[in-house]
Structure 1
Amino acid sequence: MGTPTAPDNSRFRVLVVEDDNVIGHHLQTGLQGNGYTTAWSRTGAAALTEATRAPYDALLLDLGLPDMDGLDVARTLRGRCRDLLIIILTARTDDIDIIAGLDAGADDYLVKPFSLTVLLARLRAHLRRQSVTSAAEQPIHLGDLVIDPVARRCHLHDTELPLRLKEFELLTLLARHAGEAVSRETLMAEVWDENWFGSTKTLDVTMAALRRRLTETNPGPSRLPRITTLRGHGYRLDP
């Protein structure tokens, strides 16, 4: 029997930001063993420099860094890299801390301690979801809102909406099922992870941010789809 080979993930670049040598080494070794091109920064400042030096697809970010709060790193990099996947690795378990991380621009979070298997599955699901859009998929027109899944751009009239990665994916999924009720379970499985277990507050925070962006970017009178909350079930995008 031949030796198993690592998955072909070499096209994906992952930046690990972790000051703990044991955890950082474990993450870097595990990622490289699964084929990812990986760099490791031990401080927030080093992470900001590295993320400027080379393009990355994903950021695994510890919040408890020695020189600055990981939330500031998330905010800064989200401002620079709209499509960067940011997964927070935190020992903070309070809802307010997790919500703060998502509000700072993170797409997902894992509470320490976590298994490498779970992290790799979550990372694989996110990156796969970003790359499966068909080149033949046509833009979706809903009133004055135009969503282009291929270009990953969204416009209201002639104004582009500065949507984060998960906000765009969430809006696109709802738009593909415009007028239909979409359950919370379906949204979590399609936008985050089909094996998601636990709180779905990340969905609520992202949905609130999406609604806020749609409202704030509205350049004036327009035919803007409305996101309706279906209590006990999920959401519906009303054209």
Structure 2
Amino acid sequence: MARILIVEDEEHLSRFIDKGLRKAGYETVVAVDGMAALEHATGGEVDLVVLDVGLPRMDGFTVLKLIRGMDVDVPVIMCTARDSAEDKVAGLEGGADDYLAKPYTFAELLARIKLRLRDHGPATTEATRLERDDLVLDIVTREVTVGGEPVTLSAREFTLLRAFVEHPGQVLSREQLIERVWDGAETSSNVVDVYIGYLRGKIGAARILTVRGLGYRFP
């Protein structure tokens, strides 16, 4: 699961982005000033940085310059109200991978994040793509296609489907699914059944078989 560093000193905006990314299935780290951003971005703990320009202690352009000066190749998307051509050029020439002018929609930010993670992903596809017949899961971008057509899944549905695709032909009990998908949290087995129903409705009922008294199996 990719971890995103959100560098934004406006609390309401950072919380909005943080909530949206977590709902989309990403892990997040939030920094509210340039010094904290630099520490997180260069510590090898994040996969992408969403970087505001107007920050306390150190502005975003300086943070970006120091990140690239330390040969850290983490993708950086700059987000700022400063939308002049000069600022955009400065950001891109300084090593930013993308540049978003405020105000922007979360959907646009999410699309840019998926694209940049894909661009910086491993050269081989085996570690990032899971395929079963005509069903494909991209672990990095968390995109799913069935027969070449995109399917929109919630974060929980994606994790549930991934558990099945990673164990084709194996019967997974409700208890095993709770452990894998809900991290062992106290969850009713009926909740598993409900999410199985959601998933069947999106990828096809025949793709997840019920094994009476035991659980479910991905053929």
Contact 2:79 2:100 in 1 (8 A): yes
- Tell me the amino acid that sits aligned with residue 36 of structure 2: A
The verdict on how the C-alpha distance between 1:67 and 1:133 changes in structure 2, with shifts beyond 3 A counting, is: same
The corresponding residue for 1:130 is 120
The corresponding residue for 1:28 is 18
Please give the secondary structure, in 1, of the residue aligned with 2:87.
Answer: helix
Percent identical residues = 40
The corresponding residue for 2:40 is 50
Stretches of structure 2 lacking an aligned partner (at least 5 in a row) = 127-219
Alignment of 1:7-156 (within 5 A): 10=1, 12-131=2-121, 133-134=123-124
When normalised by structure 1's length, the TM-score is 0.50
Q: In angstroms, what is the RMSD of aligned CA positions?
A: 1.8
Alignment of 1:181-200 (within 5 A): none
The verdict on how the C-alpha distance between 1:15 and 1:97 changes in structure 2, with shifts beyond 3 A counting, is: same
When normalised by structure 2's length, the TM-score is 0.54
Tell me which structure has the larger Cα radius of gyration. Answer: 2
Alignment of 1:220-231 (within 5 A): none
Residue deviations 1:126-181 (CA, integer Å, cap 9, x gap): 21233263379xxxxxxxxxxxxxxxxxxxxxxxxxxxxxxxxxxxxxxxxxxxxx
Structure 1: how far apart are the matches of 2:4 and 2:117?
11
Structure 2: how far apart are the matches of 1:53 and 1:85?
14
Stretches of structure 1 lacking an aligned partner (at least 5 in a row) = 1-9, 137-239
Contact 1:72 1:104 in 2 (8 A): no
Please give the secondary structure, in 2, of the residue aligned with 1:60.
Answer: strand
Residue deviations 1:40-98 (CA, integer Å, cap 9, x gap): 00000111122344422110000001222210001111222442100000111111111
Residue deviations 1:10-34 (CA, integer Å, cap 9, x gap): 2x11111000001100111111111
- Tell me the amino acid that sits aligned with residue 37 of structure 1: E
Where in structure 1 do 4 or more consecutive aligned residues deviate above 6 Å? none
Please give the secondary structure, in 1, of the residue aligned with 2:109.
Answer: helix
The verdict on how the C-alpha distance between 1:135 and 1:125 changes in structure 2, with shifts beyond 3 A counting, is: closer
Residue deviations 1:177-234 (CA, integer Å, cap 9, x gap): xxxxxxxxxxxxxxxxxxxxxxxxxxxxxxxxxxxxxxxxxxxxxxxxxxxxxxxxxx
Structure 1: how far apart are the matches of 2:78 and 2:86?
14
Contact 1:31 1:38 in 2 (8 A): yes
Corresponding residue pairs, total: 126
Please give the secondary structure, in 2, of the residue aligned with 1:26.
Answer: helix
Please give the secondary structure, in 2, of the residue aligned with 1:114.
Answer: coil
